[in-house]
Structure 1
């Protein structure tokens, strides 16, 4: 029997690889002869770097960069091979670095994300996977581009400052000092939302308040996004408002692909292709996926659903093991998951469950293994 184990991480508990390893241990207790292939998954958010580094036997690189509010923070990214790297923008420019009660998203910057990109380029990367979830910023990626050497000037010819409060002033762009390898860079940007660049469903109105923006600041930021888009339309013949997902992460992805070579794609699809999941599914008898909590949000093409989609194309049954089964988790059954299991076997505090997750995963997987081996007429 060939079993593919392809879970996402259990946030705050285990990495995707650790989840897969514990499921494997449980399955092997009842089906010792099973051929098991572990494929750590992610959807472009937290855990993407670790999942891909584990899958490729890569390396985590730690780097001190400028955080969203201008102070220095310790960030990281992953090197997968001699030409490929993976970055989570939240590691450098994430919302965990700010206090939304006091933050001013007109001033926060993605400069640190650009520093991580530059560091990866220095190590030979020409293809970078960039996860853009969990951002603290609203600068349309201008800060990241500044870190790579782009110069943005206002009508007076003065260099603009950092932050979304400045991007409406842009009158000219120069890449005279661009770090040369950036010219050859290809960015795959993991984006799982469809919000437009500006407007009532755009970057400022939807995401500004959670990053600390007052109503007045939201309106100011939205106007700046409109001015930035007009500049891009006039000078680069691109309309970011027509790009699905342009409003994600404060416009980071949209800004990057305006001035660099790249695309916005579904995060789980990027990770699945990087890990060659489709090829590994060939000839499999069963797929086991999962994440920390399976619920109604899972169906929005989170990693377990993408795994189920690929498995379904091969006619392979799919089971999901989750830390917990949340609200409307049954919706996953309409998206290709055949059965779902929670690892929780008795009332306990969240902290105790997190500490016991390895053992609970193994026990759940062992019981699944016993079910598989039943000979029922």
Structure 2
């Protein structure tokens, strides 16, 4: 066995359980117990959903969390935040990082799904708070959305007007889209001079069989019998907005990607962008091990989720990649991995793994260190 090695721990969050920094910390503790001389570097990741703010805070010196009060997905006041990044050559006012998940995400509803009424006003209010501070660039993370309102609530918070045939304001959420007869964008706040980067983990269009309602609506509480109506409502909304409804990522976060494109946003792969910002590729060499992970590793991971991005970067660098996941689907592709650990198998059941995730993540880190050190 050779001497100490560099181990980079770069997981996504385990949705509904632990944030990415907590996951990385637990794996690191377990690894260090088994191989105390190894150099451990933690780079928690995100794909635009929950944990995006934490990833920037952990990776960017001088980053600051700014607390705000916003309208939650259920229309009630909610605590939120955004992250300020220090100025650069192209961003003299700094960069604001805003995350839909923390402003009006599905987790904020506490299990009380409201598929027709949940809105995105909170995201627009968080964007306004960042603009009011003087930032000259915005990064908007999409993911974990509770709403399928096509971004209408966000646009209203930014100054747009949406009215029905009688000239009255429409109801919030997907329900209101059915009544929209007029959209006035003349009062919309200007995007910052440095641009708007939109981080998404899906490339779905707004409407159709791969659209926001058909693919993601059931996760937010839409019944199968309601999907056609919801899709038609989004299509009607699209006719009022100057953006391509069939563009990749337009269907992200219930159609918020579509609205952000109309505001001038450029949609990018969230996981790949965050990995670049945190400098992950620069840490990977042929003698490096990188450990990634997420709550459920399945066929959907290959569509650009954080673990897949890490595995691709490891392959390019000749580094060995390992995986820790809450659950590994039997049909998931594991050929590019040097090792993989399922917490469900380690704990002999999903309930036990969910009851003590830190404990089993530490055990997983220890098991990976033992296995990969022995194979050197």
Following the alignment from structure 2 to structure 1, what is the Cα–Cα distance between the partners of residues 299 and 371?
27
Q: Are the aligned partners of 1:154 and 1:172 in contact in 2 as well (CA < 8 Å)? A: no
Following the alignment from structure 1 to structure 2, what is the Cα–Cα distance between the partners of residues 322 and 99?
23
* 1:90 matched to 2:101: yes
Following the alignment from structure 1 to structure 2, what is the Cα–Cα distance between the partners of residues 200 and 343?
34
TM-score by length of 2: 0.82
Following the alignment from structure 2 to structure 1, what is the Cα–Cα distance between the partners of residues 280 and 339?
21
* 1:69 matched to 2:71: no
Following the alignment from structure 1 to structure 2, what is the Cα–Cα distance between the partners of residues 15 and 100?
18
The structure-2 alpha-carbon separation of the partners of 1:324 and 1:222, relative to structure 1 and needing over 3 Å to count, comes to closer
1:114 alignment partner in structure 2: 124
2:369 alignment partner in structure 1: 369
TM-score by length of 1: 0.82
1:142 alignment partner in structure 2: 152
SS at match of 1:75: strand
SS at match of 2:24: helix
Following the alignment from structure 1 to structure 2, what is the Cα–Cα distance between the partners of residues 71 and 113?
13
Q: Are the aligned partners of 1:3 and 1:284 in contact in 2 as well (CA < 8 Å)? A: no
Equivalent position to 1:224, from 233, 238, 245: 233
* 1:250 matched to 2:259: no
1:340 alignment partner in structure 2: 340
Following the alignment from structure 1 to structure 2, what is the Cα–Cα distance between the partners of residues 139 and 295?
28
SS at match of 2:265: strand
The structure-2 alpha-carbon separation of the partners of 1:273 and 1:67, relative to structure 1 and needing over 3 Å to count, comes to same
* 1:277 matched to 2:280: yes
Q: Are the aligned partners of 1:281 and 1:311 in contact in 2 as well (CA < 8 Å)? A: yes
SS at match of 1:87: strand
* 1:173 matched to 2:184: yes
Q: CA deviation at 1:128?
A: 3.0
Q: Are the aligned partners of 2:73 and 2:118 in contact in 1 as well (CA < 8 Å)? A: yes
Q: CA deviation at 1:244?
A: 1.7
**RMSD between aligned alpha carbons?**
3.2
SS at match of 1:60: strand
Q: CA deviation at 1:39?
A: 0.9
Following the alignment from structure 1 to structure 2, what is the Cα–Cα distance between the partners of residues 145 and 307?
34
1:19 alignment partner in structure 2: 23
Q: Are the aligned partners of 2:202 and 2:303 in contact in 1 as well (CA < 8 Å)? A: no
Equivalent position to 1:320, from 299, 319, 323: 323
Q: CA deviation at 1:318?
A: 0.9
Deviations along 1:28-76, one digit per CA (max 9) or x if unpaired, are: 3454443332211122222222233222353333322222332222233
Following the alignment from structure 2 to structure 1, what is the Cα–Cα distance between the partners of residues 318 and 31?
21
Following the alignment from structure 2 to structure 1, what is the Cα–Cα distance between the partners of residues 113 and 15?
26
The structure-2 alpha-carbon separation of the partners of 1:102 and 1:295, relative to structure 1 and needing over 3 Å to count, comes to closer
Number of aligned pairs? Answer: 364
1:186 alignment partner in structure 2: 195
Q: CA deviation at 1:306?
A: 0.7
Q: CA deviation at 1:283?
A: 6.1
Following the alignment from structure 1 to structure 2, what is the Cα–Cα distance between the partners of residues 218 and 131?
25
Q: Are the aligned partners of 2:285 and 2:319 in contact in 1 as well (CA < 8 Å)? A: no
2:64 alignment partner in structure 1: 59
2:90 alignment partner in structure 1: none
Following the alignment from structure 2 to structure 1, what is the Cα–Cα distance between the partners of residues 366 and 216?
43
Following the alignment from structure 1 to structure 2, what is the Cα–Cα distance between the partners of residues 281 and 171?
52
Deviations along 1:226-253, one digit per CA (max 9) or x if unpaired, are: 2333333xxx4x4322x02322322111
SS at match of 1:332: coil
Q: Are the aligned partners of 2:113 and 2:146 in contact in 1 as well (CA < 8 Å)? A: no
1:5 alignment partner in structure 2: 9
Q: CA deviation at 1:340?
A: 0.8
1:267 alignment partner in structure 2: 270
* 1:38 matched to 2:38: no
Q: CA deviation at 1:356?
A: 4.3
Q: Are the aligned partners of 1:100 and 1:211 in contact in 2 as well (CA < 8 Å)? A: no
Following the alignment from structure 1 to structure 2, what is the Cα–Cα distance between the partners of residues 35 and 98?
40
